[in-house]
Structure 1
Amino acid sequence: MRVHLGCDHAGLELKSHLTGWLTEHGYEPVDHGPFVYDAVDDYPVFCLRAAEGVAADRAAGLDSLGVVIGGSGNGEQIAANKVKGIRAALAWSEDTASLAREHNDAWVVAVGGRMHTLDEMTRLVEVFLTTPFPGDERHVRRIGQMADYETTGELPPLPASAQLAPSGPADDA
């Protein structure tokens, strides 16, 4: 499996570590940078490229996932999610890493380089990469609703059980 990597200066150490770890564990890392430490670099430059790499691989029928890394992982997740068709999830525990795959079929995981130890972050990435998407109908349906919205800009219909509050002042008459 190919794994696209992107980060900023706060994730550089982990990205370097992950490149070796991925190779040792049979993955094919694709490093989108940065390649040197720059305290004022911009994470979108690298994370967008990593997410684009995953999207292109998936469109070509290849098995590919991505990892984006920053100080908190928040901005990196947001950047990756701007790439059409990408679902990126922020992982801060083993549960969030596995649920990103099991429930959301996320293709990119974001981790915070300042939030965890190197071993903890490696484990989060490992859990993400090794957890399959089981394809349960409810999760497929929900992912489809998001994909449809991304394409059309139309909100999914509300279910019959949804009760909308009145939009104006109550009528006293």
Structure 2
Amino acid sequence: MQQDADLDRLVRQRIRALRTARGWSLDALAERTHLSPSNLSRLETGGRRIALDQLVPIARALDTTVDHLLESGDDEDVVIRPTHDAARGTTSWTLAHDRAPNGLTVAKIRLTEPAPALDRAGVHPGRDWFTVLSGVAELRLGDRLLLVPTGSAAEFSTMTPHALGAHGGTPAEVLVILSQDGRSAHLPR
């Protein structure tokens, strides 16, 4: 039951924070939700239980979703721990996956080994995108080996055999956006 009370408190805080971030009074939110200002005040302060039929217009008025208002306040996903893949010479931090739109994954990858030879390059449906945060990344794209320096980005068809690595014996760090197929191909499981 404590978990329910904690979520209830968190939803109330979110409603109030979203309302005040927009500079709205209770009257302004009431006008947009067709709920009374006193009802909204009691909802925000805990004087009244929040009902689902109230959450829908409140979420809509605050330009969010009921899911976002009810999202767990659990801090488990705050710290992102790296995953090491010694065989590939990579360390990755997955920044978004289950919550990202269209099944996309955002990850930071530290590359320490050169791009593998063409016979070890992979293919998968879709397109990959990355930007180099530090160092120089090697992009093996078919028969070509492209050098992508810090601050530059690359986007390419993943049906061409491709692989990433670090250039010149110096680690490189990249930020990637991957489809579900790209996630399976490039990130440790």
Structure with a larger share of its residues in strand: 2
Same fold (TM over 0.5): no
What's the TM-score once normalised by structure 2's chain length? Answer: 0.24
Larger radius of gyration: 2
What's the TM-score once normalised by structure 1's chain length? Answer: 0.26
Structure with a larger share of its residues in helix: 1
